[in-house]
Chains A and B, each alone.
Chain A
Amino acid sequence: MPGELLAIRDATKYFGGLEAVSGVTLQVADGEVLGLIGPNGAGKSTLFNLITGVYAPDRGEVRFKNRKISGCKPHQVVAAGIARTFQNIRLFANMTALENVMIGRHVRTRSELAEALLRTPGFKQEEKAIQDYARSVLDLVGLLKAGNDLVKNLAYGDQRRIEIARALATEPSLLLLDEPTAGMNPTESAEVMGLMGVIKRKGIAIIVIEHQMDVVMNISDRVAVLDYGKKICEGSPFEVQKDPKVIEAYLGA
């Protein structure tokens, strides 16, 4: 497939006897937004964990930019260009918002112990570059003014955006968002949707797990539906909405 960014082939993951993800095959093109939906426990987050190297698939493989990434360590996957957020926010609670985002720069910078202890010119330069980049990302998500606040003191919606900013700071070509609007009021949801639009315009592909259908249908180029670990449907938002299998899965017939 031309412009193919991510290719999941036959990915399968067992937990005990349970098949959490079962033979899922899925592609994402450069700059595309893929909505990933399905009832609770359908295996969406597990699929994210398979892509990001938290789990290795028991069968099948994940390729990214034509390189096999399944079996890689999570930090290697990040280095390859995939970043993510979490269903339950996982920020570094006792660090400032800016520092959280600066952590995202870790993978794109390289100063080590010796440079840090000697304060070499290269170290200072890189340190400044890290801060500048982090500030620009923080500005992008609209939270520059909160930069010096500890993230644990920020409002819930702001924390979600800091998490997105941290992921963006790693300069991903693919961003995985795990329920970015969960627990948000409509205004906040709309803001996050706007942010996703901005990210998309930067040419970053997105896979988004979402329960709010209007969000999914609005933002996605394509939608894939998981149920009981299997992909039951894939297509344009319009096609998916009409698919009887999807309706059945959601209504639990």
Chain B
Amino acid sequence: MFIQQLINGLTLGSIYALFALGYTMVYGVLLMINFAHSEIFMLGAYCGLGMLCVLPMAASGPAMFAVFAAAMFGSGAVAMLVERVAYRPLRHAPRLSPLISAIGISIFLQNLIMLTVGAQSMPYPEKFPIRQFEFWGVTLSTLQIFIFFLAVILMLLLNLFLRKTKMGKAMQATAQNHLVSQLMGINVNTIIALTFFVGGGLGGAAGVLNGLYYGSIKYNMGFFPGIKAFTAAVLGGVGNIKGAMAGGFILGILEVFAAGYLSSEYKDVIAFVVLIVVLIIKPGGLFGEQVTEKI
């Protein structure tokens, strides 16, 4: 039972972790909660589904690659567009304005999908056969292994990108200080757009994984996972990339255990309670330090 819950928790957690990166990266550079990120996640799932339906070939490596490429590129592009249209004009506005704008975008994107694709949930086709392993009374599926490892690989790639590439370093510099980065010759607008693209792409991949895991998607699928991924980002200290990854796994495990040992009706409540408690007790997250406002 315990091991089983742990495995399920890690699978779910890897989706949250991937999803949380988009919140944390955007918060890092813009200090804003990108409320529309949950819709980027949803769009990724839909892009992936579109590709799955179009592709004639059965399960194969290249087919899966195409599905994820479509989802990540589509989500990344929309995230970038959203930044350009709805957030950039508000960069010097009062702090709550971009949040309100983001909520507007969230409403728009959800309803756009509902009106164009449909309000009912859509099945996610199983293109490749899922095998179940059983050992010591624990079930582990190839799908769970796939989800976990793909998420981990993407996170490693992100880490590599941030540490080794010029663009990645510029992104970290921008998160530290816009003005100084600009003076160092970094085009801050480009970097912010890139942050949305990368964060959005990872969110899109998480959307596809979510679709594969639960077997169906819906226009409003982003809301609850979105709150949970945001909670994961807060747990890890918003703006802290490794923290968000850790937070995602912690939250996934917590949720599965809460559903298993407490009550499944209240599993969503758990995330909300964790969110409130962490923000009140340790708003800097588990690994973050407290920042004092300069006066």
Contact = CB atoms under 8 A, between A and B. Distances in A.
Interface of A: 15, 45, 49, 54, 86
B292 interface: yes
Nearest to A86: B295
Contacts of B292: 15
Interface string B278-295: 000000000000001001
Contacts of B295: 45, 49, 54, 86
Contacts of A49: 295
Interface residues of B, number: 2
Chain B binding surface, main DSSP class: loop
Nearest to A15: B292
A45 B294 CA distance: 10
A108 to B, nearest CB: 24
Interface of B: 292, 295
A49 B295 CA distance: 8
Contacts of A45: 295
Contacts of A86: 295
A49 B292 CA distance: 13
Nearest to B289: A16
B218 to A, nearest CB: 42
B31 to A, nearest CB: 19
5 contacts: A15-B292, A45-B295, A49-B295, A54-B295, A86-B295
A49 B293 CA distance: 12
A15 B290 CA distance: 11
Nearest to A90: B295
A92 to B, nearest CB: 13
The 5 closest A-B CB pairs, nearest first, are A49-B295, A54-B295, A45-B295, A86-B295, A15-B292
A54 B295 CA distance: 9
Contacts of A54: 295
B290 to A, nearest CB: 11
Nearest to A55: B292
A15 B292 CA distance: 9
A170 B231 CA distance: 43
B295 to A, nearest CB: 6
A101 to B, nearest CB: 22
A97 to B, nearest CB: 21
A248 to B, nearest CB: 28
A164 to B, nearest CB: 18
A54 B292 CA distance: 11
A203 to B, nearest CB: 28
A179 B194 CA distance: 41
A186 B295 CA distance: 26
B288 to A, nearest CB: 14
Nearest to A48: B295
A86 B293 CA distance: 14
